[in-house]
Structure 1
Amino acid sequence: MNSPTPAFVPVGQDELDWLGTDPVPAKPYYEPEWFELEREAVFRRSWQQIGHVCELPESGSFIRRELEVLGASLLITRGKDGEIRAFHNVCTHRGTILVDEDAGKRNNFSCPYHMWTFGLDGGLISAPDFESFHVSKAECALPQVVCEVVGGLIFVHLGKPESSLREWLGPYAAKLEMMPVARATTFSEYVYDIDANWKLTYDNFQENYHLRFIHPSAAGPVTSPENPFAYPAAYDFHGPHRSQRIWTKPDMDPPTGVQAIAFQRGAVQAMADGILGTETAKDYLGLFPNFFLFGSPMQHFSHTVYPIAVNKSRGVIRLYWIGEDETPSERFAREYFMATARDVHTEDRAVIERGQKGLASGAIKHIHFQTQESLCRHLFNTVNEKVAAYRGELQAQGAAA
């Protein structure tokens, strides 16, 4: 005889009191001066996720990434030795941007201005009339950026990291390596620009409080009288990172129609890949500052929110897959999952921009987070701590000058 399913009990405030309960100031979501502090305090001092190893399948493969928040163009390559490296995408002669393509395959990179040519390892191979320069080729290598990989995901650090990527991620490194992303060989991608601060945009995807109001179709299958807001079953925090365990409705209606076809094919493939029912299948990992990944084996997606300006961001949503589409039905299932993700996201964008417009008016001085918006509060607290520490450094430098 099966035991009854335990009644859902939301995470209590007593478990989250350490995060605080006070309203938080609204200015960090629209004030240009605060955004300028975040550039250095948060983004130059944090590991940032910028790609996946499947984009660099062989020697000579490269990708280009723009990190507008730090004014950086990056060139990520796979060398002849198989190593993945990252460099500033600038010629060391006069600073000209080397590569315009988003991705490709080359054995070397030549500057269009004066034809300085660099290898996959960043070293200067040749330069016309180089004998007239008063430096060595070794001194003219491309500026290298710290780059490490965990769980198939490529991270860079544009400052001076205090620890390795794995140490920084802590227990979440092992979780990433258990998720489908670690074995992914391809992905579907959706990129969008939004007129909103990166934190406001990211916060929308850290809470389910809005689900039944903005996404009534998506909310129906995952809400019930015992959990009308589809709140998570649990939260977890590690340093600047956070996670939640997604709650599953015990008596969820099975999918029907077109959805049933997609889910059936997706489940068959997930089972073949050995990722159906895995330990991390219900985990949402939020990695500081701007990346999260959902462990679902059939709709395994990541979302990165890149800041561009105080009131403008760019989001990159990816659904990761293991293996190529081997049958039309598998292709259909993958396209269906991407289409549903885009449908839900379309419902989010307008309301996020409305929030940004309202905050930027200065009409309210504080915003309010409830208990089940703890991930939002944790992000704000972490950013606030890092900005405060950076301000303290600037003040100390000013006093010493």
Structure 2
Amino acid sequence: MDQQTSTFQRIPADDLAWLGTAPVPAKPYYDPAYNELERQAVFLKSWINIGHVCEIPETGSFIRRELEFARASLLIVRGREGAVRAFHNVCPHRGTQLVDEAQGRQSKFSCPYHMWTFGTDGALLSAPDFDAFHLEKEDCALREVAVSECGGMLFVNFDPAAEPLREWLGEYAERLEQMPVARATTFAEYTYEIDANWKLTYDNFQENYHLRFIHPRSGGAGIGGDNEYGYPTSMGFSGPHRTQRIWAHPKPTLKPFQLKAAMKAVHSAAKHGILELPYGRDYLAFFPNLFVIGTPTQPFSHTVYPLGPERSRGVVRVYWASEDSNASERFAREYSLAQVRDIHCEDISIIERGQRGLSSGALDHIHFQSMEALCRHLFLEVDARVQDHARSIGETA
């Protein structure tokens, strides 16, 4: 793990001046018309995280994902040859959804309406009285969606012209592959829905300016000394993606049970060789809506999905290598998830208060200071795509 000194060096504002300093418009955080353009220009044209390979470890393993922004239900399956494919969870006969289960394992998928049956490769295997349709089975396969994996994380893309995932991730692809999530075999999940625009929700977790006010006790390990706001020690940008190195208090105040949980987590991470991995204090933000933290004792991901202009869903996962081997390891892992969830619960009401204020229309603009550079970068990347798309279809964003 990284050794932190007691001297904190603030990132010079001049290093971030290229992002600009002007206020940004408030309307994109609540306007339905902007949200629709954003759906088309960003979410239907980007690689979106939908899970982890550890969820589909064997032939026939599958997960179902509901993606409201695409108005789609997806079936992600590991086939006989080990390849992972993603299909619309839609029977090509009459559109009936094939699967209700969130996950499982089976060798074929049958439509409950008329029993059309498909293999794990999406091919139509059989259909009652099929000759009466005057069709070829080859023309009745399940409709595929592009799916790819990097660092154990699964991504889908609805754009037929999408560039390969590794090209999309750029230089951050290799970094993701060297983080603990790449070795994960299991995870614990916390899901929430919130009355807030996805960008407003996501931005809360891109800046530490709020830590001393919203998390004075639970976030104490991330603030203090000469870093009273818990600002990161560095930031970086690569295309639409961004990163920051999280600062840690050199002498955090921990309660006895917290210290015990931390020591058990360190032992578990060391046992699985995770302590030696690089990027242990790094936060990697992948455009548009995923970030991953590589802390060896608490590696987690957070994906925020848009549900509407003023509502979103977050999925937080803490990842582990191997199942719990003893009660102490279970304790450390349960505490780790509880800590993430409890800190996040302190954020929800304040994010929703911000949304209510923006949705009132009282503000024309909002403001980002230099240490909120990741928030500004996300907005600029989103807005550039929205504006380009609006011009291409003759609309105004």
Bin for the TM-score computed over the shorter chain: over 0.9
Deviation track 1:31-89 (CA, whole Å, cap 9, x = no partner) reads: 00000001110001100000101000100100000110110110000001111100011
Distance in 1 of aligned mates of 2:221 and 2:381: 34
What aligned pairs does 1:315-326 form with structure 2 within 5 A after superposition?
A: 315-326=314-325
What aligned pairs does 1:100-119 form with structure 2 within 5 A after superposition?
A: 100-119=100-119
Distance in 1 of aligned mates of 2:132 and 2:18: 63
SS at match of 1:209: coil
Give the CA deviation at 1:7.
2.9
1:135 equivalent in structure 2? 135
2:261 equivalent in structure 1? 262
Give the partner amino acid of 1:317: V
Distance in 2 of aligned mates of 1:5 and 1:385: 39
1:366 equivalent in structure 2? 365
Over the aligned positions, Cα root-mean-square deviation in angstroms equals 1.4
Give the CA deviation at 1:161.
4.0
What aligned pairs does 1:241-252 form with structure 2 within 5 A after superposition?
A: 241-252=241-252
Give the CA deviation at 1:275.
1.1
Give the partner amino acid of 1:358: G
Q: Which runs of 5+ in 2 are unaligned?
A: none
Contact 2:111 2:117 in 1 (8 A): yes
Contact 2:211 2:223 in 1 (8 A): no
1:385 equivalent in structure 2? 384
What aligned pairs does 1:66-105 form with structure 2 within 5 A after superposition?
A: 66-105=66-105
TM-score, length basis structure 2 = 0.97
SS at match of 2:18: helix
Contact 1:74 1:87 in 2 (8 A): yes
Give the CA deviation at 1:252.
3.3
Deviation track 1:97-122 (CA, whole Å, cap 9, x = no partner) reads: 11111000111111111111111000
Structure 1 residues 5 and 106: CA distance shift in structure 2, 3 A = closer
1:186 equivalent in structure 2? 186
Contact 1:206 1:375 in 2 (8 A): yes
Structure 1 residues 162 and 371: CA distance shift in structure 2, 3 A = same
Give the partner amino acid of 2:381: T
Contact 1:87 1:145 in 2 (8 A): yes
Distance in 2 of aligned mates of 1:277 and 1:122: 41
Give the partner amino acid of 1:116: W
Give the CA deviation at 1:6.
7.2
Deviation track 1:253-293 (CA, whole Å, cap 9, x = no partner) reads: 4x341111111110001111111153210000000010000
Distance in 2 of aligned mates of 1:232 and 1:142: 46
Distance in 1 of aligned mates of 2:117 and 2:42: 34
Distance in 2 of aligned mates of 1:249 and 1:332: 24
TM-score, length basis structure 1 = 0.96
Distance in 1 of aligned mates of 2:6 and 2:319: 33
2:349 equivalent in structure 1? 350
1:25 equivalent in structure 2? 25
Deviation track 1:1-40 (CA, whole Å, cap 9, x = no partner) reads: xxx9473221112111111100000000000000000111
Q: Which runs of 5+ in 1 are unaligned?
A: none
1:274 equivalent in structure 2? 273
Contact 2:6 2:249 in 1 (8 A): no
Deviation track 1:219-243 (CA, whole Å, cap 9, x = no partner) reads: 3233223110010000010111001
Q: Which runs of 4+ in 1 moved over 3 A?
A: none
